[in-house]
Chain A
Amino acid sequence: METHAGRHLRTVRRVAQKGCLIKPSKRISRRFTSIHAGAVADNHSSSTRHRLTPVTPASPFSRIPTLRSFTSTTNFHVAKTSGLSSADPAFTTVSPDEVAHFNALASSWWDPQGPSRILHLMNPLRHDFIRQCRASVPGASSGSYPSTGLRYLDIGCGGGIFAESAARLASTSFVTAIDPSPEVLNVAKAHARRDPALACKLRYQNTSIEALPQPANPQQDGYDIVSVFEVVEHVANPATFLDRVAQFVRPGGWLVLSTIARSWTSWLTTNVIAEDLLRIVPRGTHDWNKYINEDELRRHFLQSKAGWAEPRVMGVIYIPGFGWKEVSGSETIGNYFFAVRRLPE
């Protein structure tokens, strides 16, 4: 059987030949290092060493985030693109090594028994969460804010698990789904062709959020739901990224995201158990350093930005053989959904 790491490397090479990537990314070689430690032992650039440290957090109780609190370290994760300012048109929060990683996963994206199974299983909860968010606001379904004809923007749509499902809902009028990885997006487009119900309601675009034209009049062309599922832990500069994303939300609409809290438990479950031991998540999917805590998101939207309110959170836990379950309070230790509403004008 082919190992994930082997597959990554081959894809990275393939991508490199096509000119999408210049060389195998540091991150993937680091992952590879962890398997064949001896072979690439001399690969100790300062950034690699720096990234490796959090794998052994000092204490289970220390809230490491103080140092790299999400709001205070907006440029913390700016990796290869750090030479550009966010105003620069070439600026992107897309991490090339992340793109390479997901390119490698493209072919198995829709295999129900494949490496993305756990994402497929999580998908219904996303809809439950969005429904709960929308229902939690008084008068949400009345005239001023629609309960049908909803417009979705799915950022980092991957193979289209959420985008397809959103487009199928009777309450949806249209879904725009974007992803920077061309290979993954090809898989998404090919898969959508299997369902005639999607053709009119779902449009894929191979772009980063920075390259997507911003709505001129958010009230009219903004989106009722802008979703960023399992993405912020993969982008290079989450704060800048979310600020950009926020501009696409129609006033009265919701920004919905899901990610993983940076805690001892999440390091143990997502990196060690899920990726290394059980192998239910492809190796190299997660970088624990990029995980963001719920309080950081909350602070970012409610304190650092104006016009946002009604934060919602739902912690979920995956139990192998049983599926995803909502567990109240678990947002501080592992996977969670977060939503915040753009105040109506």
Chain B
Amino acid sequence: MDALKLTTRRVRLSPLNICRSCNRKLKQSPAKSYATTSQPDFYDVVCIGGGPAGLSLLAALKANPITANLRVALVEAQDLGKLRSWQLSADRFSNRCSSLTPPSADFLDKIGAWSHIQRDRVQPYHEMQVWDGVSDARIEFDRTPGSATNGRTIAYMIENLNITSGLLKRIDELSGITTFGGARVENITLGTETEELDFREWPIVHLDGGKQLAARLLVGADGANSPVRTFAGIDSKGWDYGRHGVVATLELEGNGWAGDDMKIAYQRFLPTGPIAMLPLPGNRSTLVWSTTPQHAASLKNLSAKDFIALVNAAFRLSSVDLQFMHTMSSGYEGELAWRLQHTRFNAQAVPQNVVGVQEGTVASFPLRMRHADTYIGERVALVGDAAHTVHPLAGQGLNQGQGDVESLAKTIDYAVSHGQDIGARMSLESYTSERYVANHIMLGVVDKLHKLYSIESGPLILLRSWGLSAVNAMRPLKGFFMQQAAGNGTKLF
């Protein structure tokens, strides 16, 4: 319905980047010769995918007076009406959350979307506790007096749906964006040559129902299996980690060791993968547990009580004990209670006890590392997961996408203000050169971290433990890591 309603509105708008008489000509001449085939509508930007990256890009373009006159369209497979009216009660949280760095939040603010986000559902955190599950070597990114990050927000925990529904509200407010919600892309082809115009390099997006959109610039914000990337013939390389990320919304026994004003993010590197607990408002937290597909499958089938016991165990027991517990089929709670008596740990250095798990929030997804060979083609640009997929252990996936969008919007702004064709590969070069290396380094570092901590024995454990302890002892170095985590570190590129 969405598409229908907005389409009728669009027809009345005169196309902004094509003068009226030309457009009349465009519409008339082919109609005579191909009376049966529907003719494409022309857009400056067609964005496929209404996730955080795609929506941010459209909002950024429309919020900027230089690019506001571009004709833009959004194609999204999901029903946008549902997203628009997304609402959860204050004690329930979606299981797909992201850690939004302050630069990403600033960008959302700059494009006018931050004020549309439900702020009472956003939780800033100020401290990180990261430790080695085998050696217990620990690094604390904390509020040490005098440290560079004293009292500052490291990042914001936010539900992805909160971001996307806020962005959609912003897009509705900006108006002038044609949206095709619940629309399936049937095919993407190249245009043809007519007497007056040559569209052989223009991508034509065919939607189900016969609608065709010709794109000066086709943006692939369409996720890891990006059809736009396939259309552009851009290869994506990488590997599967053989791990799944298990997510859940958890209820803790309290609002955190330091209360509401000083929230802490926890991450423990286990040999099967890192387990992270990140604070949400009140006594809620979100879990991201990377583990083997077998463990993930059994975790999803556990009763709430057993699931809670295993999560508590994963932050406290030795990795050998935990491994044993994974092999059990019942009685997790008692086993945990017994084993905890024989395990020494500082209760305040691990998250508070989990006491509940929100129904229906335990889910899992496979973890992958992928990087497209390039982010641009002739009249094509890729952003977010379509360009790169990263292991979630550093919470950088969404932020990388926001960085892409900010860079692409800047590139388009420059192209428009200098009369460049925004779809020409040449105009897009600065986008790929600005983002590719930065993303590649992030992907590489996260990948190596994952591999380093997958090792259960041998000299590397000593080395990595020494590494964490040494970093912990050196405040300036810690400050540097902290700044990188918060996304405001020294710009390497």
Contact = CB atoms under 8 A, between A and B. Distances in A.
Given A124-B418, A168-B419, A168-B421, A196 B22 contact: yes
B419 A169 contact: yes
Interface string A111-146: 010000000100110011000000000000000000
Contact of A194 (B19, B23, B69, B197): B197
Nearest to B214: A196
A170 interface: yes
Interface residues of B, number: 29
B420 A200 contact: no
Contacts of B26: 196
B22 A112 contact: no
A199 B22 CA distance: 7
Interface in B394-411: none
Given A165-B420, A167-B419, A168-B420, A196 B42 contact: yes
Interface residues of A, number: 23
B197 A112 contact: no
Interface in B374-425: 414, 416-421, 424-425
A196 B40 CA distance: 13
B216 to A, nearest CB: 8
Contacts of A195: 216, 421
B21 interface: yes
B199 interface: yes
Given A170-B69, A194-B199, A200 B421 contact: no
Interface in B10-37: 17-19, 21-23, 25-26
A278 interface: no
B196 interface: yes
A151 to B, nearest CB: 15
B420 A197 contact: no
Interface in A48-95: none
B21 A200 contact: yes
A244 to B, nearest CB: 26
Interface in B128-184: none
A297 interface: no
Nearest to A131: B417
B105 to A, nearest CB: 31
Interface string B423-462: 0111001000000000000000000000000000000000
A166 B22 CA distance: 18
Contacts of B216: 195
Contacts of A197: 17-19
Contact of A112 (B200, B416, B426): B426
A279 B414 CA distance: 29
Given A195-B421, A196-B18, A197-B17, 17 more contacts: A112-B424, A112-B429, A120-B426, A123-B418, A124-B418, A127-B418, A164-B421, A165-B418, A165-B420, A168-B416, A169-B417, A169-B419, A194-B201, A196-B23, A196-B26, A197-B19, A199-B25
Interface of B: 17-19, 21-23, 25-26, 42, 69, 196-202, 216, 414, 416-421, 424-426, 429
18 contacts: A120-B426, A123-B418, A165-B420, A168-B419, A168-B421, A170-B69, A193-B197, A194-B198, A194-B202, A195-B421, A196-B18, A196-B22, A196-B23, A196-B26, A196-B42, A196-B197, A200-B19, A200-B22
Interface of A: 112, 120, 123-124, 127-128, 164-170, 172, 190, 193-197, 199-201
